[in-house]
Amino acid sequence: MGKPNPRRANGHRRSKLRARVLAEEDVCALCRRPVDKTLTLGPDGKPHPWRGEVDEIVPVSRGGSPYERANVQLAHRTCNQRKGNAMPGDRVKPTRLPLPVSQQW
């Protein structure tokens, strides 16, 4: 069995941090485009690729803390996945998919 996910070790603390990041930030730190915080699931029932999520600046796998506010930022899901466990300053391919305008009302 692999190592436990440190992001889930203290779920309440991580949930509070996630709520704080979503409340304080409006732009993806990786692509600098707005994040539509109403997006949750895509039409296929999976997490929407443009929804906002918390990205660790220094990845947990490389020693970063998943609980320190100074180490987290808002990112689109797709941008965060593209970044993977890259460190600040590493070259990462930019996301080139079109952004959704908004959810249907």
Read off the pLDDT of residues 1-55 as tens digits, 9 standing for 90 and up: 566 666 666 678 989 999 999 999 999 999 999 999 999 998 899 999 999 999 9
Rounded to two decimals, the pTM is: 0.78
Tens digits of residue pLDDT in 86-100: 888 887 766 665 555
For residue 2, what pLDDT is reported?
Answer: 61
Minimal CA–CA distance to 99: which of 27, 26, 33? Answer: 33
Q: Is the pLDDT at 105 greater than 60, yes or no?
A: no
Burial of 49 (0-12, 13-18, 19+ CB in 10 A): middle
For the chain, domain boundaries: 25-83
